[in-house]
Amino acid sequence: MVAVSRQIGTGGERIARCVAQTLNFQYFDEEVIGRAAEEAGVTIEAMNEADRAPTLRQRMLDALTASRAVTAIGWFDPTPILVNPLYTSTHFRDLIHEVLRELANEGDAVVLGHGAQVVLKDRWDTVKVLISGSVSVRAIRLRESGAAADEPAAHRLIADSDRERADYFERFHAVAWLHPANYDICLNTDHLSVQQAVDLICEAARQR
């Protein structure tokens, strides 16, 4: 399994999808898992009924199996994780973590986000990857993609996204999001092409 974390504007979404395609792995990201939760009928009320958790977990896994493809997100990731109940609710987080462990047990999956690098930190068979980059290059990409109207807007978007994710990992996982010790591979995409990054990650995955 490959667990990918990325900073906004680094091309991490595209890289993760290409890794999945190259390795013929299933691909899961926020949108896919969120849709699976909706299809499984996961609600805060349902999660509060402890005896339903195993059933909800299986229903989510079944929905994920049927949701292997997702449209390209490009360079922009707008997920507001600090206000998203799939992240902030203890019950929801526990369910997502159990689903991540089940996906890791099954293998042959690429997961983008969801703190998978932390949840699966002790698994030798999971390659944990961080996709990062400088603010200046990320800002250019956000402008080129249309995610930001101008340079100041791009810098604000980057600052907000980085701060939100750092706060989330500190609050819910007690780890420093960008600390290299949380990953097996840290790639700076300022000067790496998508294909070069994909090749490096795939080679590491094949060695596992």
Which residue has 């609050």 as its token pair?
171
Q: What is the pLDDT of residues 125-177, one digit of tens each?
A: 999 999 999 999 999 999 999 989 999 999 999 999 999 999 989 988 899 99
Give the H/E segment covering residue 26: strand 26-28
Structural contact between residues 168 and 38, judged by C-beta atoms closer than 8 angstroms: no
Radius of gyration over every alpha carbon of the chain, rounded to an integer in angstroms: 17
Q: At what angle do helices 135-145 and 151-172 cross, to 10 degrees?
A: 110
Q: Where are the domains of the chain?
A: 2-207
CB 126 within 8 A of CB 1: yes
- CATH annotation of 2-207: 3.40.50.300
**How confident is the prediction along the chain (208 residues), in pLDDT tens digits per residue?**
999 999 999 999 999 999 999 999 988 887 666 656 666 666 555 544 444 455 655 666 666 666 544 333 333 344 455 445 555 556 667 777 888 888 888 888 999 988 899 999 999 999 999 999 999 999 999 999 998 999 999 999 999 999 999 998 998 889 999 999 999 999 999 999 999 999 999 999 998 8
For residue 7, give the amino acid letter.
Q
pTM beyond 0.85: the answer is: no
Residues 6+ apart with CB under 8 A from 68: 26, 27
Q: What is the 3-state secondary structure (H, E, C) of 176-192?
A: CCCCHHHCCEEEECCCC
